[in-house]
Amino acid sequence: MARLYLFILSFAEASFFPIPPDVMLIPMCLAKPKQAWNLALIATIASVLGGMLGYVIGVYGLTIVEPMIQSLGYGDYFQLALSWFTTWGFWAVFVAGFSPIPYKIFTIAAGAMAMNFPLFVLASFIGRGLRIFLVALLVKVFGEQIDRVIKRYANVLGWAVVVVFILAVLIHQFSN
């Protein structure tokens, strides 16, 4: 039953729910380290499927959900997502999938911007998969000690990835 709840949480978080799957994935991996990869796969697949729902919301329901996005305080992130799609497309989804930037905002923005759907799915699968499997790996290797570290430094590490990505893009642009 816990796997079903992990699936539902991972799915919902990718399209509309604010709580990340880590809150279930970490304790589940701690309880059953031999099943960490299976649990990470469940969370990844559910997250990508939820991202697809977010994409559909962006295509067909943006006028309905945009006021909610604003009222939840995600308006700035949504504008950032829209601007990133103009320039980076695939990479915007990849970075959002891996970082603490609300992934759901980028899934909706991808649909609103009519991003190439197969590229969206690929970027989502890689970005979310890397993030979720990294959490499972860290828990599997370091056990309970990493739980405290992840809770304390997850946002810092995620934002560091975003900064490195932006620096890489800027270096690439200025070197051409």
pTM for the model stands at: 0.80
For range 121-149, the mean pLDDT:
87
pLDDT digits (tens, 9 = 90+) for 90-121: 888 888 888 777 888 889 889 988 899 999 99
CB-side neighbour CA atoms (13 Å) of 59? 11
Band (10; pLDDT cuts 50, 70, 90): very high
Mean pLDDT of 77-96: 81
Average pLDDT over residues 78-96: 81
Spell out the residues 6+ positions from residue 64 whose beta carbon is closer than 8 angstroms to its own: none
Express each pLDDT in 38-79 by its tens digit: 999 999 999 999 999 999 999 998 888 888 888 888 888 788
The 10 Å Cβ neighbour count of residue 53 is 18
DSSP label of 33: G
By percentage, how much of the chain surpasses pLDDT 90?
34
